[in-house]
Structure 1
Amino acid sequence: MSKRHSAKYKIDRRMGENIWGRPKSPVNKRAYPPGQHGQNRRGKLSDFGTQLRAKQKLKGYYGNITEKQFRKTYDQATRMKGDASENLIGLLERRLDAVVYRSKFVPTVFAARQFVNHGHVLVNGKKVNIPSYRCKEGDVIEVREKSRTMALVLEALESSEREIPDYISVDPKAMQATFARTPSFDEVPYPVQMEPNLTVEFYSR
């Protein structure tokens, strides 16, 4: 098991929530933090602690995003017109690895990052291997022809774990997805409650 695969389950345990809604999550059996004192560590959080937790959960959900990348995304969201928390979610959902994950071309957001990195994805017919690439409305994202027989892809498309959201149109046979529009927060199918407003409060302290 890779370091990141074990780490993703640590995030679930630390948060006490199955943040990706996966049946293998250890939280399904033990809904408390790891460690010998895990069951005794549930105390009331301060406002700062609540905001930090909301930020960690949202950042963790999108996989391997570093704190520097996440902060940069927040800064961009605050410079845009409209609600900063809505803008933040919109920017995160426009990431290429997020779109690949939402399109069910891969089983996890961690796999999506690796899948993009290894050159298996085309955007508007051109290879893009940058997971943080920001998709625009109307962009066509597809699995490269040579990669369409990968077991990872076939299993993900057949999985009933997740539904494809309305803001992405997918042709499973062609292994092609169109990013129709930037979603609002209410449209994003998070398995658990996310609080981007608290993330904005955390960074704006």
Structure 2
Amino acid sequence: MSKRHSAKHKLDRRMGENIWGRPKSPVNKREYGPGQHGQRRKGKMSDFGLQLRAKQKLKGYYGDVTEKQFKKAYEEASRMKGDTSQNLIGLLEQRLDMIVYRAKFAPTIWAARQLVSHGHVRVNGVKCNIASRRCYVGDEISLGNKAQEMALVLEAQSLAERDIPDYVAPDGNAKVTFTRVPTLDEVPYPVKMEPNLVVEFYSR
């Protein structure tokens, strides 16, 4: 499991965007970058800089997955048939922690990862504590009885800032079914993601 080594909102400030669409993001008040020179006009970024930024943004959105895991996902996406950038998004959305987050079982991707690692999530009725586990079409993801009463879960389910996407079909408050692998335009990102630049970054 990847550990968060810095405050999650630092990524928002660095990118100048509200990556997760949260109301508490500091970007809502200060759109400029961090530090004493944050308000200065930025110079034109190189192609490499744009590609690196796109990679850091996408990797950060998925809870700062490790570079090893992220590159492995890219390599698998490049071996699959079809568009590599679409395949990469599909693989990232198939992660168990991401489906838990999409299902509104947790308010943040980090909370979703913690919920999984503490053994509160079941895949097809079997307890699973591996956040990076890949789920497949038709898999049922549910919460254990104890988790259903947790304040964290109840808070997440009441959040109005995001909806459950079409490819995660709810069955009551504690169970969802992963119905299909989504394409880029189906994923409800609060900001624009550019997986094509990520592909360019790794294929240099």
Shift in Å, 1:7: 2.1
Shift of 1:6: 5.2
Summarize deviations over 1:127-163 as a string: whole Å, max 9, x none.
Answer: 1100100000000000111211000001111111101
Distance 2:5 2:178 in 1: 28
- For 2:179, the aligned partner's letter is A
What is the number of equivalent residue pairs in this alignment? 202
User: 2:159: which partner in 1?
Assistant: 159
C-alpha change, 1:28 and 1:5, in structure 2 (3 Å) is farther
How far did residue 183 of structure 1 move?
A: 0.4
Q: Distance in 2 between matches of 1:45 and 1:53?
A: 10
Aligned to 1:65, the other structure's residue is in SS state: coil
Give the Cα–Cα distance (whole angstroms) in 2 for the partners of residues 189 and 5 of structure 1.
26
Summarize the Cα distance change of 1:119–1:36 in structure 2 as closer, same or farther, 3 Å threshold: same
User: Quick one: distance in 2 between partners of 1:184 and 1:125?
Assistant: 27
Alpha-carbon distance between aligned partners in 1 of 2:142 and 2:5, rounded to the nearest angstrom: 25
User: RMSD of aligned C-alpha atoms?
Assistant: 1.3
1:17 partner letter: E
Equivalent residue letter for 1:88: L
Higher helix share: 1
Q: After superposing the two structures, state which structure 1 stretch, 94-103 or 164-173, moved more.
A: 164-173
Q: Which runs of 4+ in 1 moved over 3 A?
A: 3-6
Quick one: distance in 2 between partners of 1:162 and 1:61? 15
The 5-angstrom pairing of residues 21-36 of structure 1 reads 21-36=21-36
How far is the alpha carbon of 1:64 from its aligned partner? 3.2
Paired AA for residue 176 in structure 1: K
Runs of 5+ unmatched residues, structure 2: none
Q: Which amino acid aligns with 1:133?
A: R
Note if contact 1:64-1:110 (Cα within 8 Å) is conserved in structure 2.
no
Task: Give the deviation of 1:17 after TM superposition.
Answer: 0.1
Residues 16 and 27 in structure 1, CA contact (< 8 A), matched pair in contact too: yes
User: Partner residue of 1:188?
Assistant: 187
Contact 1:13–1:33, Cα closer than 8 Å, also in 2: yes
Q: SS at 1:58's partner residue?
A: helix
Whole-angstrom distance in 1 between the partners of 2:202 and 2:7: 24
CA contact (8 A) 1:95 1:131 kept: yes
The CA deviation at 1:169 is 0.3
> In structure 1, how many angstroms separate the alpha carbons of the residues matched to 2:5 and 2:203?
32
Matched-pair identity in %: 70
TM-score computed with the length of structure 2 as normaliser: 0.96
1:55 aligns with: 55
In the alignment, which residue of structure 1 is the partner of 2:125?
125
The letter for the 2-side match of 1:134 is R
| Cα deviation 1:101-122 (Å, max 9, x = unaligned) | 0000000011111111111100
What is the one-letter code of the residue matched to 1:66?
T
* 2:198 maps to 1:199: yes
Q: 2:78 is matched with which residue?
A: 78
Counterparts of 1:92 and 1:41, CA distance in 2: 34
